[in-house]
């Protein structure tokens, strides 16, 4: 399974990764706040991730890491 991780404390909740995901499995965490007071992004259905890394490519703060299955 592909794995997407976010550096939650650096995420500013801009939502660019949410719009970039072709599978629509990235969302802003409405119930969490990071140390800066933003709602960080998260993957809501990790089993549907195709490892395309579009979310990481769009992130202006480089807080997303995508590990693809080999």
pTM: predicted TM-score of the whole model, two decimal places:
0.90
Instruction: Tell me how far apart the alpha carbons of residues 3 and 68 are, in angstroms, rounded to a whole number.
Output: 7
Instruction: Tell me how far apart the alpha carbons of residues 56 and 65 are, in angstroms, rounded to a whole number.
Output: 6
Banded model confidence at residue 69, pLDDT cuts 50, 70, 90 = confident
Strand (E) or helix (H) holding 16: helix 16-20
What letter does residue 44 receive in the DSSP assignment? S
Instruction: Tell me how far apart the alpha carbons of residues 33 and 35 are, in angstroms, rounded to a whole number.
Output: 7
Domains of the chain in sequence order? 3-67 (3.30.70.20)
Tokens 């299955």 belong to which residue?
69
Tens digits of residue pLDDT in 31-50 = 999 999 999 999 999 999 99
């Amino acid at each position: 399974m592909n794995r997407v991780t976010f550096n939650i404390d650096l995420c500013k909740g801009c939502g660019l990764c949410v719009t970039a995901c072709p599978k629509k499995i990235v969302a802003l965490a409405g119930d969490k706040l990071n140390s800066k007071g933003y709602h960080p992004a998260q993957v809501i259905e990790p089993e549907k991730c195709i490892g395309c890394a579009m979310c990481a490519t769009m992130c202006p703060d480089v807080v997303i890491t995508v590990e693809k299955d080999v």
